[in-house]
A and B are shown apart, each in its own frame.
Chain A
Amino acid sequence: MALTRRCHRVAVSTIDVNNPVFDATAVDTACTHCGLPVPAGLLVPESEHQFCCHGCQTVYETIHGCGLDGYYRMRERLGAQSDQPDVSTHGYESFDDPAFTARWCTEHDDGTMSCELQVAGMHCAACIWLIEKLPAVLDGVLDCRVRFGDRCVTVRWSPEHTSLSAIADQLDRFGYRPHPRQAEQSVVIRREVQSALIRIAVAGAIAGNVMVLAFALYGGMFHGMDRAMFTFFRYISLGLTTISLAWPGRVFLRGGWAAIRTRTAHMDLPIAIGLLAGTISGLINTIRGAGDVYFESVTVLIFLLLIGRALQAWQQRRSQRAIALLFSLTPATARRVQGDGTAVVPIEALQVGEIIEVRAGETVPADGVITRGTTTVDRALLSGESTPVSVCVGETLHAGVTNCASTILVEIEQTGEPTRIGRLMKLVERCADDKPPVVEFAHRMSGVFVVVVVSLAIITATLWAVLEPSVAVERALALLVVTCPCALGLATPLAMVASLGRAAHAGMLIKGGSAIQHLARPGRIYFDKTGTLTAGTLSVVDWFGPDELQALAAAAERDSSHPVARAICDAFAGDELESHTIESTETIGGGVRAIVDGDEIAVGSLSYIRTFDRVISNQILAHADRAWASGASVVFIMRNGVVEAAATIADQPRPEAVDVVRRLRADGWTIGVLSGDHPSVVRALAADLELDDEACIGGLTPEEKVEYVRANSDREAVVMVGDGVNDAAALAAASVGLAVKGSAEASLAAADVYLARQGIGAIPMLLDGATGTMRVIHRNLAISLGYNTVGAILAITGVINPLMAAVLMPTSSLTVVALSFRSRVFRGV
């Protein structure tokens, strides 16, 4: 940490480039800036400087007086290795919009403003240091506090001196991409965590004290105890237990009451019955000065159950937060054409009839018609089509498609909710709302449990009323106390906590426990095609023609950003790509023409090649026909006016897809493909993956995907795996929605599980883990029910005494806790 400490005194803007401190050589894999170990994924081979995080690197770069460009290049390279979210391509002007301020910022009495920003890319102490140095770097920033656990920054600034966009921009340049964060929501969560903590504290303090008193009482039972003291201890225990039940224990009573009112099985009901029975029997026996009391059982039970719940809530919040960090909630912007230039405005400000400029690589922000320019657009996220399509003036574009090739002007026809993507988002919301609530396994069990225990208690009371009326009520109450499902209540939360934590470690972020339950048993699984079963990027799968033409074609396509051009370059560009001399490159419509090493090379689609009016040989055409039949695209290569070669370009299945599909089928899953892409492409894929043709459906709209998912969800669990906006509604409607890495934000929000590792290879592990988790839960339930049965028999027959009850109760809980954390579910993956 020596480095960090020393550079503190140096303001970032006035740094001495030759500061000798920074020439210190890092040991092995220690971060050059902060000295912390560099995570393996961030190591840059053959580089003198290694960095543990963006913060360290950025400060280092700033210190060395490098231009911003060098920093961006470095970050890009690191980003690819560390799996960081993409750096935003637009500015933060919209952060100053009045609508934004009203929604996300708080104005203080002294005229200052504050805002909570969620920040991606924070890793270590140096990041905190760097971000909290913001007031020193930027005039007008008054205070900047990091909450590392939440990956959250609270910044306060004076609006006269600076703006939020400047702050956001500075954070972005430091390498931390800020998103606004709803302050109210985080306040609500913080309040919940606080009250959960207070409840645990109170319950714990009371449980400890009552336990000590109980030990004294047990001791007195064997060695004799003064009658007055006996009564005194019992009254104190009674008082403490009442507080525990009425304050921290109230959540269970309220939950149990809600279960009765709504007539649903809920874990809280048997717990509430047990707690009440224990307290009431204790109250009666304390007042009459005879019989057993179970105060320590009641108080320890409340304490343990609260801990179990708090742990589960904490684990689920962690997964949700990790997923939330992946979406950029940053309001999107558009370039509005104004006079001669363009102005960046928030999308909300766009009006129908205005003209916007959409550059290559940008996403079309609203539905509209092209008024100038010709380009290629990628609709993969919106419709599932794997091949980009050419569009020209007069054609309609939907919001959400990506412009691949060149700048176009678009006249807006629809904005906001009526756009295609807006309607899709509405559909996602509706699907999420309509999803039937899942009755968790433990809750279903507890319904059975209540019925059994209450009937047993009634039978016990009736039996003893006949045999020996004086002990009837006492025996029935003893039964209710002993069978109180402490372990039952702990069994699920603890097993879930352990599994969700390990799953997150293995790159599977699971938002809730119900997903685990559905995934544990084989049902129906639907895959999206583009981006899920396939990589979502085009690649060359076949080549027909002389091999030496390959390098020339790649050279001709070198400067094009078109996906097909990229595929050709990736496939054929060797090391000598730079050695070709290229002159007069010309890109028109569906192709490229260039002079490479003196030869005229044209690469393009059939319609593009036809414009040259040359004959294409039958051999090449036959080859192209075969490719088209399988749904692929074909690019023709012409040299000096002769069409000599054809390359087949397709979106290939992921290498692991075949194994995953085979494995799922062996486990008994029904597998299907729901795709928005052309049916012939989907059929070709089905053949590759050995799937039934009927189960693989192409040409589906997002609404139709939802229909397919819903059609089966009554009978069995339906799992949907997808990535695009067009899958989002189906992900929300499915029993379990799985979003793969690289998914659209809408899909991340809608899905229940996010696979943070590339591809679908993690799915079998996820299913194994889910099965294992349910096995642990079942085992825990069996053990706790076993304890309860033994206890119930002892209580009914009247054999049990308070000491045995006190031993039995924590043993069952401890067994369950130990088994939950010892299990190997999700481990070693």
Chain B
Amino acid sequence: MSVIYVVLPVALVIAAVAVGAFIWAARRGQFDDLDTPALRMLEDDDS
């Protein structure tokens, strides 16, 4: 069971990376507009 002393901090680091990625995305404005991109994908502009 002593593996938990390694695995738990590793799990927390992974969680921290995920949260960090989310914060980065939020600050970059990825969640500012949740409606338009959903509609924009309907027009495939291939000109």
Q: Footprint of B on A, CB under 8 Å?
A: 1, 4-5, 8-9, 124-126, 128-129, 132, 146-150, 190, 193-194, 197-198, 201-202, 205, 209, 226, 229, 232, 236, 240
Contact = CB atoms under 8 A, between A and B. Distances in A.
Contacts of B23: 198, 201-202
A185 B40 CA distance: 25
A147 B27 contact: no
A823 to B, nearest CB: 26
A148 B1 contact: no
B33 A150 contact: yes
B47 A197 contact: no
A783 to B, nearest CB: 32
A236 B6 CA distance: 13
A226 B26 CA distance: 41
B6 to A, nearest CB: 12
B23 to A, nearest CB: 5
Contacts of A124: 39
B36 A128 contact: yes
Given A201-B22, A201-B23, A209-B11, 20 more contacts: A1-B43, A8-B43, A8-B46, A125-B39, A125-B42, A125-B43, A128-B36, A129-B43, A146-B40, A147-B35, A148-B33, A148-B35, A198-B22, A205-B18, A209-B12, A229-B1, A229-B4, A229-B5, A232-B5, A232-B8
A656 to B, nearest CB: 35
A198 B30 CA distance: 12
B29 A149 contact: no
Given A1-B42, A5-B44, A8-B45, A202 B32 contact: no
Contacts of A205: 15, 18-19
B19 A148 contact: no
Chain A interface SS verdict (over half): helix
Contact of B36 (A148, A190, A198): A148
Contacts of B45: 8
A501 to B, nearest CB: 16
Contact of B26 (A9, A197, A240): A197
6 contacts: A9-B47, A124-B39, A128-B43, A194-B29, A209-B15, A236-B8
A118 to B, nearest CB: 14
Nearest to B16: A205
B32 A147 contact: yes
B47 A190 contact: no
A254 B36 CA distance: 35
B35 A236 contact: no
Nearest to A10: B47
B29 to A, nearest CB: 7
A146 B42 CA distance: 14
Contact of A128 (B11, B15, B22, B39): B39
Interface of B: 1, 4-5, 8, 11-12, 15, 18-19, 22-23, 26-27, 29, 31-36, 39-40, 42-47
A229 B8 CA distance: 11
Nearest to A213: B8
Contacts of A240: 12
A205 B22 CA distance: 11
B24 to A, nearest CB: 10
A202 B27 CA distance: 14
Contacts of A232: 4-5, 8
Contacts of A150: 33
Given A147-B32, A226-B1, A125 B19 contact: no
Nearest to B11: A209
Contact of B33 (A4, A129, A147, A202): A147
Contacts of B5: 229, 232
Given A194-B27, A202-B19, A229-B1, A5 B32 contact: no
Contact of A8 (B29, B39, B47): B47
A148 B26 contact: no
A190 B36 CA distance: 16
Contacts of B29: 190, 194
B14 to A, nearest CB: 11
Nearest to A127: B39
B9 to A, nearest CB: 8
Contact of B43 (A4, A148, A193): A4
Nearest to B5: A232
A181 to B, nearest CB: 14
A149 B40 CA distance: 12
Contacts of B12: 209, 236, 240
Contacts of A209: 11-12, 15
A5 B43 contact: yes
A5 B41 CA distance: 11
A129 B43 CA distance: 7
Nearest to A4: B43
A241 to B, nearest CB: 13
B47 to A, nearest CB: 6
Contacts of B44: 5
A126 B40 CA distance: 9
Nearest to A201: B22
Contacts of A194: 26-27, 29, 31-32
Contacts of B39: 124-125, 128, 148
Contacts of A147: 32-33, 35-36
Contact of A201 (B19, B33, B40, B43): B19
Contacts of B31: 193-194, 197
B45 to A, nearest CB: 6
Given A202-B19, A226-B1, A149 B47 contact: no
